[in-house]
Amino acid sequence: MPRPRKIRKIGFQPEITGFKPVGDIETNQPIVILTLDELEAIRLRDLEKLTQEEAANKMSISQPTFYRLIESAREKVAEALVEGKELRLQGGDYKMAQMEMKKFVCLQCNHRWEVLYGTPRPNNCPQCGSTNVHRAPEDRGYARRGRGRGGLGRAAGPGGGMGAGAGGGRGPPQW
């Protein structure tokens, strides 16, 4: 009995529809179709560097399903690159995730807000202007548990806050 294909959630849709090889191109090469859920798998795992578990969760699929998806994706990309085939980005069993948002929290006033993915990291809290803003812990796949002591009272050091790499090891605030 065929299992129904599970719909994958994707958080990114490309603006381009494909890639064409440059150079001495063999004619009548078959076109490689990379589906948008396969593209998303590559984006999450190879570009965003999520773990397989995090990436699978993001796409609302099981890890084995994610594994098959990314294996297929990588093979297609390799085939296109190595054999000089046109790669087209289309199709797949997916639905767009509801507006991917990044969540932030201000450790000064506890204000929480969201910004759209792709917009730059905010430097200041929109409410109190503090630079002591951090990615909300529940929003980080890699949030470490059990280290969150005393985020709240900490003064923002000079130059702190700006561009601190995600996952910079600061404990999440307590609430």
Residue 31 is a binding residue for Zn ion (CB under 5 A): no
Cβ neighbors of 157 (< 8 A, separation 6 or more) are none
Question: Phi/psi of residue 69, each to 5°?
Answer: -65, -45
Which run of H or E residues covers position 39?
Answer: helix 36-42
Binding track over 61-100 against Zn ion, x by CB under 5 A: ----------------------------------------
Q: Smallest gap, in angstroms, from Cβ of residue 93 to Zn ion?
A: 41
For Zn ion, give the closer residue by CB, 91 or 126. Answer: 126
Binding track over 105-124 against Zn ion, x by CB under 5 A: -x-xx-x-------------
Query: Whole-angstrom distance between the N-terminal and C-terminal Cα of the chain?
Result: 49
Stretch of residues binding Zn ion (CB under 5 A), selected from 40-48, 72-80, 125-133, 155-163: 125-133
Q: Binder to Zn ion among 57, 65, 72, 130 (CB under 5 A)? A: 130
Q: Binder to Zn ion among 73, 92, 125, 172 (CB under 5 A)? A: 125
| Number of residues engaging Zn ion in binding (CB under 5 A) | 8
Q: Tell me whether strands 32-34 and 87-89 are parallel, antiparallel or unpaired.
A: parallel
Question: Phi/psi of residue 131, each to 5°?
Answer: -90, 0
Spatial distance between the Cα atoms of 69 and 157, rounded to a whole number of angstroms: 44
Residue 128 is a binding residue for Zn ion (CB under 5 A): yes
For Zn ion, give the closer residue by CB, 92 or 172. Answer: 172
Query: Could you tell me which of 14, 55, 17, 44 has the C-alpha nearest to residue 33?
Result: 17
For Zn ion, give the closer residue by CB, 123 or 127. Answer: 127
CB 38 within 8 A of CB 70: yes
Q: Which residues bind Zn ion (CB under 5 A)?
A: 106, 108-109, 111, 125, 127-128, 130
